A and B are shown apart, each in its own frame.
Chain A
Amino acid sequence: MRKLLAVLAGKLLTVAGKMAGKKSSSGPGEFAVRLCPQLLGELPKHVKRGIIVTCGTNGKTTTNNLICSALEAKGYKVLCNRLGANLLNGIVTSMIQEMDLLGRFSVDYACLEIDEENAEPVFDYIKPDVMVVTNLFRDQLDRYGEIDIATDRLKRAITKVGELKLVLNADDPLCVQFGREKGVTPFYYGVSEKVLPQLDDIKDGRFCPICGAEQEYNYYHYSQLGDYCCPSCGFKRPNIDFEVKNVRLSPAIEFTVNGKPMKISQKGFYNIYNFVAAYSVMNVIGESADDFSSLLKAYKTPIGRTQEFKFNKPVILNLSKNPAGFNQVIATMNADERKKDIIVAINDKRNDGRDVSWLWDVDFDKVRNSRLNMLITTGMRMWDISLRFKYEDINVDMITPSMSKAVKTCLKSDSDVCYVLVNYTALYPTEAVLTSLLKNGGGWD
């Protein structure tokens, strides 16, 4: 009875939220869980074929949405927390949205992205069949703690499940260590050749996760990702089940997976990982993915993942919320040779992490190579991000609390493209500003 009440309340809140124009990605779930804490435990009963969970610091939303799109293209019904609401309440919200008023629903698969911190509590209710771990980077230290703490937490979550197929990024030694846990069957994906220039960025995970010695690398992709080997205990990049080779980054990204050619329209080296992770999952669950590219025809880039808005010039919105992610977005931007304006928005609300000291771990000096026309800073911490540029001797042209003003300024400048880099809580307001400017005739007053 309590369960039904919780579902009903959740549904009402979702409808009310929609009427009020909210995205309601976790609020209804939060309320429903308060009425019935066991509600999440209902989920497995309604999933016929399997539960797939995606974890890791970066790439969760894209990977999870890719898996979901591929499965839907094959005709399956899929439950997916598509909005990136990856906490327990967000998962319950997506479930409630699937349910009818009596709490009934039935899907073939559930594709869930789960925040590193929440995997352990969520696995009290849900035992996934397959779990992807994309990568582990330093991220929001005030919320998640040091990388060692995040790693231990994920280990506990994994061992809690018992039997589990793990799909792991072989290029990240921190992910690979999970393949050694009891009850786990690991599958590895990775990029088996040197593609990018070798950078001196932050490489937290370069020490051996088993014995602590500094690992030797044949090459790096970025951060601690690459081809590594521990000279002390012999831990090394494992044999690869889904192997990426023959990578070309421009004009469009092309590569092969186990010899099969693939082409993606998304930009950024890191998107190769997202695609091969999703491809690996399809194979691991026994769904043929030979026609992977055509399966993804209906796939739409999630909000703020190199999302393009077509004004008089393209405005590209990109979520960048930790050093590894930011460095990758800067690298992607630098590969774009057009003359560009860059807007950076930094907030420090709870979901961003209250601590903005990570801005100093981002290699912002590289922005200099980006054919920069104008640089604008905004967000609650606009002064902090401006200072970061100042101490790289990069001039900030405008500091404004108004995203709308920032975008309008760029639309009038003589650049060819505008990149908007935002952290988490700045994402949805920025998307709203861009959408409304687009509706009102391209931001011209």
Chain B
Amino acid sequence: MNKLKILHLYPDLLNLYGDRGNIVCLVKRLEWRGMEAEVVKYTRNNTEPPNLSDADIVFIGGGSDRDQKIACRSLLKCKRELKNYVEDGGVTVAVCGGYQLLGKYYRLGDETIEGLDILDIYTERGENRLVGNVVLKSDIVPGKIVGFENHGGRTYIGSHTPLGKVIYGFGNDDSSGYEGVAYKNVIATYLHGPLLPKNPLLCDYVLTNAIKRKDPNFSCLPPLDDAMESAANKYIADRFKYKWRT
């Protein structure tokens, strides 16, 4: 197999919560299996639109409201290309601000930021920020997905399938009991920063989808020793066990 190309959208603007940890995780888990990855950073210094035709994974992280606006304004120019990429099964991981901008809009009081309209979802700023550790139960991977959320926006996902059911934490809107969106090969979530290192099966799920899209005959990735990853995951999952929603 040729190397996987990871397109990192705006690492200069959307990098608030250790988002680069997700990129490192994708790359290393390929390398440890003798495969290769190439990371292409698309920054605000790029004048041409990002090249999606040979992208295998697109990653969008989170940023401050100001930086998110700049990134979004610029991505609107290639809205159709991004939508086609997703509809065509293009693998995408969007975190926090990146998640919000895949939707129709983000309303902050009087101001409305137009989104990329890739997912049929919208976000509105709530009164307080939703901050804390999160534990999810997801149909995508066995076990628990753990992470940390910190968002002012409430995201309403309509008829979309969520990434998971919240068993500890706030989730999309603090009331639905769901977190994130899983649509085609898109994973969109408020679980920011190092989401993938502590959820290695989710990382492998993303990688597998990307490889399968390139090579339909591909079956599965060889396993890695994930003892450390599992311990980090278990520490958070178990720590809040007594508060789990069932």
Contacts and interface: CB of A to CB of B under 8 A. Distances in A.
**B15, B44, B228: which has the most chain A beta carbons within 10 Å?**
B228
Contacts of B132: 142, 354
B235 interface: yes
A391 B193 contact: no
Contacts of A391: 21, 24-25, 28, 197
Interface residues of B, number: 32
B228 A383 contact: yes
B231 interface: yes
Given A212-B66, A354-B133, A383 B25 contact: no
Nearest to A385: B232
B18 A357 contact: yes
B64 interface: yes
A296 interface: no
A431 B235 CA distance: 26
Interface string A359-388: 111000000000000000000010110111
A146 interface: yes
B235 A383 contact: yes
B-side binding surface: helix, strand, loop or mixed?
Answer: mixed
A147 interface: yes
B183 interface: no
Interface string B26-66: 00100000000000000011000000000000000000111
A125 interface: no
B198 interface: yes
B156 interface: no
Given A383-B231, A383-B232, A357 B198 contact: no
B229 A387 contact: yes
**A141, A360, A393: which has the most chain B beta carbons within 10 Å?**
A360
**A142, A148, A357, A384: which has the most chain B beta carbons within 10 Å?**
A357
B134 to A, nearest CB: 11
**A141, A148, A386: which has the most chain B beta carbons within 10 Å?**
A141
A372 to B, nearest CB: 18
Contacts of A359: 18, 194
A141 B16 contact: yes
Contacts of A138: 16
A76 interface: no
B125 interface: no
Nearest to B28: A391
A202 interface: yes
A13 to B, nearest CB: 31
A361 B21 CA distance: 8
A387 B198 contact: yes
B15 A141 contact: no
B150 interface: yes
Given A141-B17, A141-B150, A202-B15, A384 B64 contact: no
A384 B236 CA distance: 10
B228 A358 contact: no
A391 B28 CA distance: 7
B193 A357 contact: yes
B17 to A, nearest CB: 4
Nearest to A365: B24
B192 interface: yes
B5 interface: no
A51 to B, nearest CB: 32
A104 interface: no
A300 interface: no
Given A141-B17, A384-B198, A387-B198, A355 B193 contact: yes
Interface in B184-227: 192-194, 197-198
Nearest to B70: A212
B131 interface: yes
A248 interface: no
Given A148-B64, A354-B131, A391-B24, A361 B18 contact: yes
Contacts of A145: 129
Contacts of A142: 131-132, 148, 150
A22 interface: no
A360 B235 contact: no
B66 A355 contact: no
Nearest to A383: B232
B148 A384 contact: no
Contacts of A148: 64-66
Interface in B144-191: 148, 150
Contacts of B18: 357-361
Interface string B1-19: 0000000000000011111
**A145, A386, A390, A391: which has the most chain B beta carbons within 10 Å?**
A391
B32 to A, nearest CB: 9
B20 interface: yes
Contacts of B148: 142, 354-357
A421 to B, nearest CB: 17
**A138, A142, A147, A387: which has the most chain B beta carbons within 10 Å?**
A387
A404 to B, nearest CB: 21
A383 B232 CA distance: 5
Contacts of B20: 360-361
**B25, B44, B66, B148: which has the most chain A beta carbons within 10 Å?**
B148
A272 B18 CA distance: 28
Interface of B: 15-21, 24-25, 28, 44-45, 64-66, 70, 129, 131-133, 148, 150, 192-194, 197-198, 228-229, 231-232, 235
Given A355-B193, A358-B18, 12 more contacts: A138-B16, A146-B64, A147-B64, A212-B66, A354-B132, A355-B131, A355-B148, A358-B193, A359-B194, A360-B194, A388-B194, A390-B228
Closest 9 CB pairs of A and B: A357-B193, A360-B18, A360-B21, A383-B232, A357-B18, A146-B64, A357-B17, A383-B231, A355-B148
7 contacts: A142-B148, A357-B21, A360-B20, A360-B24, A361-B15, A390-B228, A393-B28
